Structure 1
Amino acid sequence: MNLSWLDDFQALAATGNFSRAAEDRHMTQPAFSRRIRALEEWLGAELFDRSSQPARLTEAGEWFRQVAQGLLAQVARLPGEAQTIAEAGASTLKFAATHALSFTFLPGWLRGLESRLPVGPVQLVSDVMPRCEALLQASKVHFVLSHAHAGTPGALDAAGYPSITVGHDTLVPVSAADARGHALHTLASGSAPLLAYSAESGLGHLLLQVMGERIAALHLPVLFTAHLASVLKTMALDGRGIAWLPVTLVAGELAQGRLQRAAPADWDLVLDIRLFRDLRALGRAPEAFWAAVP
């Protein structure tokens, strides 16, 4: 049997009109009629009473309507089921992570996990937070690693995706050091240039939601905007202004004195580092990894 005959059958069953059904199936009426007849011959039963207009389903036709719907529904599920079965035996862990965490937190975190469990091969997509969220929602990755704040639920929280806190980070307002080793720009000056995150930045979204009003009240001139913390770090090191940057990204520069705190600690934003997982069953390797992550 040709599976496309099922669609032919449903088109004719819906209208009882051979001409209209043939048009819906983008073929001539004689060709369409031959396909319906071929289906009936394969089944060994008449499916339509052609003595009436419009044609009506026979008793066998009524039975086959239910069968056809079930078969088409099962066929539609086959690609997803095949993918699930294939992934169940796959050992590659698929991650999406924001840019900042991809080359700061993630490598060391995985190295620490490897000391007590077999991680295996890893596939990483590094992108902005909205794209990482979309990849998980489309089941293109098993996990998303991102910054988060308890008071600011994100899209994955709202959709009920399970998550585990695997670390912590802090956004700190920093500036390049002057010749005396002090911050070149400070919030206390009231006119320091601001190096800001763009709207698509996950860190920028968290900073805006939690501290946006306080920062806006300072009326700092925005000198530069980017969605990558690493770009803002380069601009801050160049002495261009103040940027709120994750400690995981600037710990070395702070220790060396190349960057300095530009404000007291009450301007810091403490964040969680969270691992989100897909809602569906992940397969043996990803499920084992999820179960082993603290």
Structure 2
Amino acid sequence: MEFAWLEDFIALAESGNFSRAAERRHMTQPAFSRRVRLLEDWAGAPLFDRSSQPITLTEAGERLRPAVEEVLRRLAQAREELRQTAAESASALRFAATHSLSLTFFPAWIQRLGSELALGPIHLLSESMQACEQAMLESDAQFMLCHGHDAVAQRLDAAQFTSRVIGEDQLLPLTAPDASGRPCFHIGQDTATPFLAYSDESGLGRIIAAAQATRPQAGLRTIFTSHSAAVLRMMASDGRGLAWLPHSLVAEDLAAGRLVIAGQNAEAIPLRILLLRPRARQSQIAESLWQLTKPASDGP
């Protein structure tokens, strides 16, 4: 049974005439009649009384008509919903952003862009660096926001993806203060320092590993691991150990004295905030956003 036969059935039931129904269906009357016969063969019973003028439905046809009308109505409704979904998808912007930037940089940044460009629907995936990279590879996101560092190469193929610097940040070694306001733990202290580390999925973890490869820091003893800077921030604030945290995430904690720099020997690690995208052309709204982000410098 073909979908078009159902439309043929309704056309003949409404017009009561083979010629008019065939014209409505944009075909010759013989071809139209053959398709009606095929539908009746499929149904296993005559659907039209051809002895009357105008042609009327048989009892079997009357029983079939509500079902056919419901099928056609539902299919038309589903098609309209699919068209609306496709239109919304074409106008939507899909971002993948690391956890810390989702909390700190992204809200103000997208609001600023929204004051210059009608952005429409926005979908944000807030995840680890590894999960964001996978979203880009699977085309689940059009853009990715992450931290970058000169010593850490992007894992997304430069032949397929490009990047743009849209901001700056820094990683700071931080700890909770003791009762006198001094850091509970120090970089390079005599005893082993409890270290709150990033997991392998974390982009910040890659950056810290690269920095420590060039300037090793002895005496760190990993006691806790997470891919989320926000989780490490809470652990550090509770006095559980030392964590390297982005300044954008902890600026208020530093101002309030809830976190302090871990000793005089502590040095910040400079960070860039990167916007990545596929090199292939994207939707019109995505291309407009890319043009609107005036770069400090562009990636390869």
TM-score with structure 2 setting the length: 0.65
Specify the alignment match of 2:208 in structure 1.
207
Name the CA shift for 1:263/1:120 in 2 (closer, same or farther; >3 Å).
farther
Which letter maps to 1:108?
A
Aligned counterparts, 1:102-113, within 5 A: 102-113=102-113
Name the CA shift for 1:167/1:264 in 2 (closer, same or farther; >3 Å).
farther
Distance 1:130 1:200 in 2: 5
Distance 1:182 1:153 in 2: 36
Aligned counterparts, 1:122-271, within 5 A: 122-156=122-156, 158-190=158-190, 191-212=192-213, 214-215=215-216, 217-264=217-264, 267-271=267-271
Name the CA shift for 1:133/1:225 in 2 (closer, same or farther; >3 Å).
same
Distance 1:165 1:115 in 2: 20
Which letter maps to 1:200?
E
CA contact (8 A) 1:172 1:269 kept: yes
Shift, 1:156, TM fit: 2.0
Alignment partner of 1:91 is 2:81: no
Which letter maps to 2:135?
L
Specify the alignment match of 2:119 in structure 1.
119
Which letter maps to 1:253?
D
Distance 2:117 2:185 in 1: 46
Q: Which runs of 4+ in 1 moved over 6 A?
A: none
Distance 1:166 1:117 in 2: 17
Shift, 1:267, TM fit: 2.2
Specify the alignment match of 1:28 in structure 2.
none
Name the CA shift for 1:105/1:245 in 2 (closer, same or farther; >3 Å).
same
Shift, 1:87, TM fit: 7.2
Shift, 1:245, TM fit: 0.3
Shift, 1:186, TM fit: 0.9
Name the larger-Rg structure. 2
Distance 2:215 2:195 in 1: 13
Residue 131 of structure 1 aligns to a residue whose secondary structure is helix
Name the CA shift for 1:159/1:266 in 2 (closer, same or farther; >3 Å).
farther
Shift, 1:111, TM fit: 1.5
Aligned counterparts, 1:33-112, within 5 A: 90-112=90-112
Which letter maps to 1:203?
L
Shift, 1:288, TM fit: 0.8
Residue segments in structure 1 that go unaligned for 5+ positions in a row: 1-82
Q: CA RMSD in A?
A: 2.3
Residue 139 of structure 2 aligns to a residue whose secondary structure is coil
Distance 1:224 1:89 in 2: 40
What is the total number of aligned residue pairs between the two structures? 211
Shift, 1:266, TM fit: 5.8
